[in-house]
Structures are given as structure tokens and as C-alpha cells.
Chain A
Amino acid sequence: MAKTLSLDNLHRLVDALLQEGVRVVGPKRTGTLTVYAPLTRGEELELNELPRRSAKETFFPPCETILSFEKRDGRTTVSDPDLDRLPETVLIGVRPCDAAAPGILDAVFSWDYDDPFFLERRKRTTIIGIACTSSDDACFCTAVGLTPDARQGSDLFLVPVEGGGFAVEALDAKGSALKERHAALFTAGGNTVPLPLAEPKVEPLDLEKIRAWLDGNFEHPLWKEIADRCAGCGACAFLCPACHCFDIVDEGGEGSGCRRKHWDACGFGKFTMHASAHNPRDVQPQRYRNRIMHKFKYYRDKFGQTLCTGCGRCIRWCPVGIDIKAVLDEINKKS
């Protein structure tokens, strides 16, 4: 029953989807970096590198227009995007740490009020996950409950096999439908011995114990110790697959313009500052504390999930070398 897909056929699958008018987004090399970008042909797919930014931007772009307004002859009119015209999208070549995140974010984006910008894209997107066969020492998915071949969040899952190609597994109706539609590209049998997985060599974490420690240690010298070095940029939040904070701004002019929603980060001093200049999180350690609390306590308290998938991007790109895994290890030891 197991089906396999050669690398060539994976490329053909992308081409076939594009032919059908489906938007295909996958890791693509642009200049010096690999990012998730709309593909124009299958061969652009770059599966050997974890993209610099996470896949969340497929659902939650860095910046999007939520409405436009125009003032004419004393009348103001507002128009908003036609979300029913958002294209059907296939997000392909997504590693487990990136594939799991959108599902985690569903909770906040559908909490009471449904954010249509996120959820409509979710509805229209099929995620083709891929088991991870390369990792580095910043990776720690296994410490936060995932594995290099975790299926969580994927509709269709590819496991790289010996001799090239992938074993294919449809995980839900969306995945099956996609597989059925392109059945000719998938072959029965073939080598299905998986390549060795990239198991990060990290100490395990007890997330429940960490939550409990965070619960009792809002005030603790640790926060200052870690975060005094924090420069207060948004690199960690913007690269993170699970950070979902945003700002809403009006741009353009008084006469006409757009209201936009764009990524924001709790590390910025301005993030919580009141118009009166009073700031509930006045110094960097308080902001860093909020980041950890949000990911490992608040989100668990509210939605029962952890806002971290262990992709390691914040570790790789922290300008001052703050290592969230080291921080968690330390908390884990304390609790």
C-alpha cells in the first residue's frame, strides 16, 4: 500500500499543481538565503536547508492590508480584501517544526473571534510536511514534544528514503485528495527504508514542570541574569514559527490609505508603552520574561499548547547569543 514519490516526481507534482492554478509555496533559494516563497517551477524547491524564516508567514504574512479607506466629499468609505479570493495554496517541503506551528496558532486566531486572514488561508492551504534528515545544535524539537518525523500539522507527509525519493503518507482528507488528484506521480512499492532522522542531541525538557516553575517565579533573579544582555530587537519573534503578536497601523494619508496588520515583538520597548509613556514592561528582562512566559505558561494555561516547536531559529539568529534551550534547561533544572 505504501506509495513513494521520486524527487523528480515531487518536482513534477509542483509543476502540475502550478498548471492547475494552485499557488505553491516552498523553500526556495533567493540570494544568500532560503525562504518560503511562491515557486514558479518544481526545481526551485530547496529541501536541504531549513528556511531562514518560518512557514507561519504563509498564513500570517509579515504585513498585510486589512482594509483601505478613502475620504471624498466629506464621506468616508472603507473597503476590505475579498478573502474568498485568496488562492488555494500548497505549502510544500515543510519540516515538522514548521508544520506543527500553524495548528498551534489556530487556537489564538480562533479564540472567540475568528481571524479570517489567518483562518481562510489555513482553510485553503494543504501542507506537505517532510521528515527532517539534517539538524544542527540549535535544533531542539524533541525537547518540546515533537520529533524529526512528527506528522503534526501536515496533510501529506514525505519521508526521505534510501536511494532518493520519499515514502508518502496521506494524513487527512486534504492530503488524500491531493494525492488522488495526482495519483499518476506516486508509485506503489519501491524502496521505503527511511533515511536516518536528524534527532537533535539535546537534554529533554519537562514542559509541565517548567510551566509550574514559571507559575511561581514571575519574580526571579534569573530574568535579569539572562535578559540583561537582550538587545531588544525582534529577530527571535519574527523568525519564530509560533510568535503571533502583531501591530495595527494606518498608513498613507488622511485622504486615503490602508490599515495594515504587521508583525510585532514583545522584545520591543514600544510594544506595551501607553500613550502616557507609562510602560508596564519597562525594562528588557520584563519583556524577555513575557516571551518565555507566553510560550511556556500563558499559552499552555489558555490553550493547553506550547508556543514553541524547537526549530532553533531564535538561537541561531539572536544577536546577543541568548539560547532559549539553555534558558529552558536551567528552568528545568530548577523545577
Chain B
Amino acid sequence: MCIPDKNIYKPYLATIESVVDETPDIRTLRLVFQDEAVRDSFTFRAGQFAEYSAFGFGESTFCIASAPTRSGYIECCFRAVGRVTEALRRLEVGETVGVRGPYGNSFPIEQFFGRNLVFVAGGIALPPLRTLIWQCLDWRDRFGDITIVYGARTESDLVYKHELAEWQGRGDVRLVKTVDPGGNGPNWDGQVGFVPTVLEQAAPSAENTIALVCGPPVMIKFTLPVLEKLGFADEAIYTTLENRMKCGLGKCGRCNVGNVYVCKDGPVFTAAQVKAMPQEF
């Protein structure tokens, strides 16, 4: 949290420090708060999100994709699909964006200490887990085995390619990367197959293990049964939900799933919590 402004809808200003094109339409922005006091005091937990503005176009909701353990900047990662994301994509290094946040709950990382972790992500859904992955890697000795299963439609759809290489090179993480059949190029060194199938083959042990799943609804739908088969309890599976949001503050009334407000009660939920919700997301 940070210096509260009376106007809860007023964003902090941040400068785009660098831009990385992860894929042809997915971009990472590294942002540095313009106000030094904000820069020093802004903290967040892995899993929280923020509202990013492209002034003149509006605000859009993404998770904070950088790790809480790396201070001085935050990163967001988005696909240009709408009015705001396209406007954000047009901005260049040195230009200003607005940031409101951090909002929402977070991964209860303290509860993961001493346990094995399995990250399962698909496509653009790696960023919400990447923040946690880096935090865990920065605190490597507090966790047991770490497995990352990450897939995308094609090789070029994989985000954070450099980091994937880095993780692959580390001896203390098991990275299983995959692309959908047909998405692999001649030099592809990963698996070929859909994430749930690859996860099943990788067969991480459920013993003392937490699974963190993030991906498109269809991936989640097929991944949960696989995890169940591998012996994961619903309480040991974490995921994040995304809904259209405007305020991020539990007021504008559109992100609710039943009586659960994704912006305040989420975005992080256990599979048990998700199953208890009305299926309207």
C-alpha cells in the first residue's frame, strides 16, 4: 500500500521505463512512479492487480506482473485487444501512464513455505504467476521442489521467452514448456501438446504440494480434473479469476461472481472457492 489519496479514483503517474514485445500482440511495460515518495512506499503482494490508464482512453485491469521482491518499478503485461490496451501499446518509453492499486487479495505465500509448488499456466496467463514465481525464486530456500508447466498455442505466443530460458538453465526449477500441436517450429526444444495433457505426463507429486493454475477458461476446465487425478485437493489448488472491472474497489458492481467481488475478494481463489461460486464467469 502507499500514501492514500482522498480521491480513490486518482492514479499515480508513472513513466514507461522500458517496453518488451513478448509476442506480436503482447507487450510488457516496466513502469517507474514519477513521485519519489510513491516509488519508495509502493508495495504489493504477488497476485494483486492494478488499474492502468492510458489518459484519454481509459483504464484497464491487469495483474502486477513483476515480483514484489524487486522494488523500484512495477511491470504489467497485456495483449492489445481493446481501446485502452491498444492505446497503452501506442505509448513509448518516457511517456506517462496512470496506475491505481495495488488492489485485491494475493497468494498466501507464507502458507506455501516448506512446500513443493507446481505452476501451470497457458498463454497470456503466465504474468499473474510470474510475479509469484520470481518471488519464490528470490526466496528459493523457503520452498521445496518448484515445477513450472507453461504452454501456448505456438512458440511465438509464449511470453517471457528470456525468462523461460533462464528458468530452464537453473538447476533448482523444473520447467516443462509446451506448444499446441502444430505450433512448434523446427528448433523447438519443449513438449508438443495441450497443457493438461503435458501436465498429466509430467505428473508432479501432489504430496505436500500446492498447485497454482492460471490460463484461459478452457485450459482451467481441463486442468482441474488432471490435478484431481494427480491427487491434489481443491484447497491446494490456487487460481486467479478475471472479470471486467472498472473501479477495482468493490463499488462499480460488475465483476461479481455471485456475492464474491473478484476485485476485492479475489482475484486469487482456491479451486474449492471457485467450485462453490455460481458458474457465471
Contact = CB atoms under 8 A, between A and B. Distances in A.
A247 B246 contact: yes
Contacts of B96: 71, 75-76
Q: Which of A257, A272, A276 has the most CB of B within 10 A?
A: A272
Contacts, number: 129
A183 interface: no
Contacts of A66: 7, 9-10
Interface string A291-310: 00110011001100000000
A253 to B, nearest CB: 6
B33 to A, nearest CB: 13
Contact count band on B: 35 or more
Contact of A298 (B57, B85, B256): B256
Contacts of A281: 280
Nearest to B56: A254
Given A264-B252, A286-B280, A67 B9 contact: yes
B259 A302 contact: yes
Contacts of B253: 244-246, 264, 266, 294
Interface in B245-268: 246-247, 249-259, 264
A317 interface: no
Contacts of A75: 96
A264 B58 CA distance: 16
A108 B85 CA distance: 29
A278 B241 CA distance: 13
Given A74-B94, A274-B244, A250 B56 contact: yes
A228 B53 CA distance: 37
A74 B15 CA distance: 11
Among B13, B96, B247, B280, residue most surrounded by chain A Cβ atoms (within 10 Å)? B280
B251 A76 contact: no
Nearest to A268: B254
Interface string A79-120: 011010000000000000000000000001101111110000
Given A245-B254, A276-B81, A76 B7 contact: no
A113 B249 contact: yes
Contact of B55 (A69, A83, A272, A302): A69
Contacts of B58: 248-250, 259
Contacts of B53: 250, 259
A250 B56 CA distance: 5
Nearest to B81: A275
Nearest to B11: A78
B56 A69 contact: yes
Contacts of A255: 56
A114 B258 contact: no
A271 interface: yes
B6 A116 contact: yes
Interface string A125-156: 00000000000000000000000000000000
B278 interface: yes
A301 B251 CA distance: 15
A246 B252 CA distance: 5
B243 interface: yes
A218 B258 contact: yes
A250 B51 CA distance: 14
A157 B242 CA distance: 46
B128 interface: no
A76 B81 CA distance: 24
Give the one of B11, B246, B255 with max A CB within 10 A: B246
- Which 3 A-B residue pairs are closest in the complex by CB-CB distance? A245-B253, A275-B82, A76-B96
Interface of A: 66-67, 69, 71, 74-76, 78, 80-81, 83, 108-109, 111-116, 218, 244-250, 252-255, 257, 259, 261, 264, 266, 271-276, 278, 280-281, 286, 290, 293-294, 297-298, 301-302
21 contacts: A66-B7, A71-B96, A75-B96, A76-B55, A108-B251, A109-B251, A111-B251, A113-B8, A244-B253, A245-B252, A246-B252, A248-B9, A250-B57, A254-B87, A257-B55, A266-B253, A266-B254, A275-B60, A280-B281, A281-B280, A294-B256
Given A112-B249, A112-B250, A114-B8, 8 more contacts: A76-B95, A76-B96, A80-B10, A113-B250, A115-B251, A247-B252, A261-B9, A273-B244
